[in-house]
Structure formats: structure tokens, C-alpha cells
Structure 1
Amino acid sequence: MAPRPPSPAAREGVPPETARPATHRAQHQGPRPASDPGNPSWGYRRIHGELAALGIKVAASTVWEILKDADIDPVPGRELQTWPAFLRSQAHPILAADFFETRTLTGARLYVFAVIEHATRRVRILGATAHPTAIWTTQLARNLVMDLQDAGATAKYLIRDRDSRYTAAFDAVFHREGIAIVKTGIKVPRMNAIMERWVRSCRAELLDRTLIVNQAHLLHALREYEAFYNEHRPHRTLRAAAPLRPLPQPIAKPCRIDDLDIRRRDRLGGILHEYRHAA
């Protein structure tokens, strides 16, 4: 990359009549760099503009071919994609995983591992333990892969944070199935926002309202909440449907509220409520 030439006033032997006007630079700026200002790589358009500023006449296509022959990307940053755009375009094959902890009545700390599908919002609570060892997490990864195969779900990406509980053996289980591991940034929970939002719902709707006695009681409560979340709880993203239950057909004939027969089913002693219209 050639440096910018000095200003006409600093060059010796340059007649005043040949000095460039102040508006010349604005007319020949060319495109902006393909990447952010902190990236030193320039695109072929930027290089072409710098050469033109030096008085070197060369076609932009020639600069493109020279960079291409040298195995240099002529348009750096062309394939860069923002994180929200990646999530929107690849929602169907994306899984998100996370660990979160809770406490029992005795003060014991238990760790829960769950996975959610971005497209369907279906959640899978894979297990809970007081000691999440490498062998335990790897076995949960195998269980998840088998569940996905049984359900006929296709996944290409698994978003997770940089927790030390995710070992190389854990990642290897997904790599063998062609699922790429996407790590979130350090202290950037919004990169795994859908999973984090589900953890918040689980705490607000279940864990903060339940006195957990032990690990068996926690697993029972989580299984009930998983079924409630997947089969009944409406989701705004799914237009009020549930991940495993489509919206019911609307009532054909007009009727009053008093004519409807609404039945309520309580789960976990009344912590969760399901409402259905009796046929």
C-alpha cells in the first residue's frame, strides 16, 4: 500500500497553477474501506483510489485480478455477517445450550443443563446434578444427539458460552454429527439471548415459586415444566402457539363467553395452570 503523497504545498518544483483544488480529494475519495476503520485490510476499490491519487492509471479490474492471483481477498469483509442477521437467517438449524444453578432447602447447589431450538422454541432439559463432571456433560451431549435423531430434527450450530464444564469431549460429540460449536463472547450473554430468556422464565414461573427438597424433586419439577412449556404455554414468536401444539381451529359460530366450557388443569400443586376449551 503506497503512502499518501504529501500536500502540493510541501512538494518542491510544483507550480501553483498545477496544485489540486481543495475539492479534488472529495471528488476522488472512492468507496469506503470494506471493513471497519480498525481493520488494516483494504479492498481493491480503495487501493485503486490510492493509486489514482498517486497519478498511476490502472483499471480497477486489474487491481482486482492482481489481488486475486496473490490469494488476497479483493473485497475483505464482504462475507462478514452481523450476529442478529446470522441468527435470523440460520434460526432453523440452531441450538442453544446453557447451565444454570438453583438451591435446595438445605442450601445444596444443583446445576441444570438445558437446550432450546431457536426455530421451534422447543426446550429439552437434559439433566441436573450437584457435580457436573466432564463424563456427565459428555453423556448428556450423546443423549441430546440421539433425541434429535429420533425427532428428525436437523441442527448445524450449537451456541454455548465459554464455561469450563464444556470439555473437548463434549464438543467432539457434536462435531461427529456435523454440528459446529459457536462460542459466545466473554461476558456477552446477549449472544445467547434466547436461551438466557428461557432460563429467566424457568426461574420466574417455577424455581422462584417452588421449595426444592432434593435432586429428585428438582428433576420432577423440571420435567413438568418442560411438558408445560412445550405443549401448552403460548409463545409470541410462534403467534401464541406452543412448540409441540399448533393453535386450535377458531370457533365457527359466534357465541358468548358464558357458553364456553373452559377447563383448568393444575400442574405441580397449582403452580402451573393449563386452560383448555372442552369439546
Structure 2
Amino acid sequence: MIAAVLVRFTYLAVSHAFAALWLLRMSDREKDVEILALRHQLEVLRRQLGDQRPRLRSDDRALLAAFLEPLTRAALRRFRLLVSPDTVLRWHRDLTKGRHARANVNRAPGRPRTGASIRLLVLRLAAENPSWGYRRIHGELALLGVAVAASTVWEILKTAGVVPAPRRTTVTWVDFLRSQAEAILAMDFIETVTLTGQRQYILAVIHHASRRVWIVGTTAHPTHAWVTQAIRNLLMDLEDSGYVAQIRFLIRDRDGKYSALIDEILGGAGIATILTGVRVPRMNAIMERWVKTLRGELLDRTLIWNEAHLRRALREYERHYNEHRTHRSLAAAAPLRARHLPLGPGRIERLAVLRRDRLGGVLHEYRHTA
């Protein structure tokens, strides 16, 4: 639209420039006669139009405003124009505004918009520090050399729906688990049935931070004595692997298989027992998710003959889970194996991978050839 108006305006300006050159060759008498003839034509047009206003295009208005701008209002009134002098002056004002508007076409109204990186940083600081208000966040930004007003920080938080600091300081169960992951174990019983129809109970423990799993034992009769001995064995495994010094909490449900004695044994090692709510499995969500993984990758895909077969399968799966299986929470590493470095272009072109089967092909592991 604007480009078309500019093209038409340029055409009219050039054509009138050539007309002006032609006027230089005319005498004053010839110019006077032409002016009188043009005025008479305007009178004829006025009689034909009556009260109707002439339809002028944008380029016509711009050209008339440019030609008549040097004249005063009194001089314009002496002219027999199709429009009033005030209209011509308004056209000139609009033309001037348009020129300034085109000069600032890339400038948005109001204050410049805050950069996306600064907005993301403000929201990150608010999420990672629930007790910080907008002024505390503003001060941290100043330490980082980010020049932004405190009111801008407040506006960013308000727009994103971040509640004020006093209401963000409440510690949720999820926040507690994340902050204490290094010090938390989770425990649960898993039930399965062998081909002989015998019900087996598997006692397993998982470390929240590393996702390492200990399958403490299996039995058809989980008595209090058996569970107590299993907890003692677990503490010895934790001490041998160096975990016992950092563990401070153990989450479990209220199953009657656990005796009161195991809480005393754990308390002697500095580990407090945290009981989940009644029918609230999400309070032990990480353990429940591992149980689902165990069933989907082993128990639901394997025919378990008896208790001895179950123990061998569980030992094999425990090694696979801790030493090979990747985890999203560990950035594709395994609990006891760090993530491999990316291969270079040369090695990718010569990529050769071998497969290792566990449990008769139920589990597959892959590694590079030597």
C-alpha cells in the first residue's frame, strides 16, 4: 500500500517537473490565459459536482500539500481550489507526521522491551530461590552487571504469574525430596508369583540421588525376623559401598511386614524412618516408579520357576540396572557408570556395536567392539 502511493507520487512529481520546464518557454500573456482557462474549468467542475467532494488519492493530497505549503492561509483563500485551505494545511500536517513516523517505523511505543535472556534469568532466579523478592533478585542482577530497573523485575514476575516471595517459601514434598535426594533411601515390597503358584516377596531399596538399587532379598515368608536381618544386611552393604555416611532418611509405607525393631536399627546408624501417608503412593513415587520398571522389564517378561530362579534373575537385573541401564534423571548415565563422551566423526563412520544378552535375551546390552 505505502509502496504504491510512493510510486504514484514519484510519477506525478516527475510529470509536473517536466510541465514546469515547459512553462519556462511560455510568455506571461500565455500563462495568464492558461490560468483563466483552468479556473473556468474548475467552475464547470464545481457546478457538476454540486455538494459532492472530489475524490483525491493519497499521492494527489501529498503533491498539492507540497506545492501549496509556502503560501499563507490568506493566499490559499484567494485560490479557487476544490477543497478548503484548512484541508490543504491538514494534508501538509499529515504528510509531516508520516515522514516522522517512517523515520521511527522500527521503534515500538513506550519503553524498550526487556531482552528475552534477561526475562529468563529473572524467572530462573525466582524459581531457584523461593525466598527472594523482586528487590533481592534486582540486587543479584546488579552483581552480574545486568542493568535493569527493580520495577522491571517486578513486572516480569507479575506477568509470568510468579507469586510474591512470602508465599513461595513454603516447602512442598517434591521440593523436600529434591533438596534431600543425596540423603534419602526408599524401600518397598514387591509381590510376584512363581510357576508353582508360590507367592514371593521382594524387598528392594533405591537411592534417590544416584538411582542405585539394592535388592535386599526375596522370601515366601516375610517374617519380622527375616525383615530385621535383611535391614542389617542392607546397612553392611551401604557401609561397604560408602553410602551409609550420607544417608539420613528412609521412606517406606506402613506395611505390617516391617517391625518396630528395624526403625531402632536404622536409628542407630543415624537414619530416620519416614512413613508415607495411608493410600498415598506418590509420597514414595521414585520407588513406585522403579517397581513399575522392574515389572515391565523383568517380572512380566520372564517365567519364574521357583525362589532360586527368582534370586538369580534379580541379581542379574540389579547388575544390569546399576551398571548399564541409562536414566533420564542422570543425563543418560547409569548409577554405577558415567556417561560416555560423544564419538568423533571418524569413529561414527566406523561404528561397530556388539550386543550382549542377559537372562536368555530378556535384557540387551550394547557396547563397542574392541
Q: Answer whether TM exceeds 0.5 for this pair.
A: yes
C-alpha spacing 1:78/1:138, structure 2 compared with 1 (3 Å): farther
Verify: 1:169 aligned to 2:261, yes or no.
yes
Deviation string for 1:65-107 (max 9, x for gaps)?
xxxxxxxxxxxx9996321111011000100000010000011
| Alpha-carbon offset, residue 250 of structure 1 | 2.1
Q: 1:115 maps to what in 2?
A: 205
Which amino acid in structure 2 is aligned with residue 170 of structure 1? I
Q: Secondary structure at the match of 1:126?
A: strand
Mapping of 1:194-205 within 5 angstroms? 194-205=286-297
- Per the TM alignment, residue 253 of structure 1 is displaced from its structure 2 partner at its CA by 3.7
Could you report, residue by residue, the CA deviation over 1:145-169 in whole angstroms, capped at 9, with x for unpaired residues? 1111111112000000000111111
What letter is aligned with 1:271? V
Please tell me the residue identity of whatever aligns with 1:198. Answer: W
Residue 199 of structure 1 aligns to a residue whose secondary structure is: helix
Q: 1:271 matched to which residue of 2?
A: 362
Q: How many residues align?
A: 202
Q: Give the aligned residue type for 2:200.
A: L
Alignment-derived partner of residue 64 in structure 2: none
CA distance in 2, matches of 1:159, 1:79: 24
Counterpart secondary structure, 2:311: helix
Asked whether 1:219 is paired with 2:219, we answer no
Partner residue of 2:221 out of 122, 128, 131? 131
Query: TM-score under structure 1 normalisation?
Result: 0.70
The structure with the largest strand share of the pair is 1
1:254, CA displacement in angstroms?
A: 3.6
After superposition, where does 1:1-279 map in structure 2 within 5 Å?
A: 81-153=171-243, 154-256=246-348, 259-279=350-370
Structure 1 segments unaligned to the other structure (5+ residues): 1-76
2:182 match: secondary structure = coil
String of CA shifts for 1:207-226, please: whole Å, max 9, x gaps: 00111110000000000000
Whole-angstrom CA distance in 1 between matches of 2:176 and 2:303 = 40
In 2, Cα distance between equivalents of 1:78 and 1:278: 52
Distance 1:103 1:82, change over 3 A: same
* SS of residue paired to 2:339: coil
**Cα offset, 1:248, TM superposition:** 1.5
Bigger shift: 164-173 or 262-271?
Answer: 164-173
Over aligned residues, Cα RMSD in angstroms? 1.6
Distance between the aligned counterparts of 1:82 and 1:167, measured in 2? 29
SS at match of 2:283: helix
Q: Name the structure with the higher helix share.
A: 2
Alpha-carbon distance in 2 for matches of 1:78, 1:147: 39
TM-score by length of 2: 0.53
1:92 counterpart SS class: helix
Structure ranking higher on relative contact order (CA contacts 8 Å, 6+ apart): 1
Structure whose CA Rg is larger: 2
Report the secondary structure of 2:264's partner residue.
Answer: helix
SS in 1 for 2:304: coil
Distance apart, 1:277 and its partner CA:
1.3
1:168-210, Cα deviation, whole Å (9 max, x unpaired):
1111110001100000000000000000000100000000011
Q: Residue 203 of structure 1: SS of its match in structure 2? A: helix
Task: Percent identity, please.
Answer: 61
Task: Summarize deviations over 1:26-57 as a string: whole Å, max 9, x none.
Answer: xxxxxxxxxxxxxxxxxxxxxxxxxxxxxxxx
Distance 1:117 1:152 in 2: 12
SS in 2 for 1:266: strand
Distance in 2 (CA, whole Å) between partners of 1:218 and 1:181 is 28
SS at match of 2:328: coil
Q: Deviations over 1:90-137 (max 9, x none)?
A: 000100000010000011100000000000000000100000000100
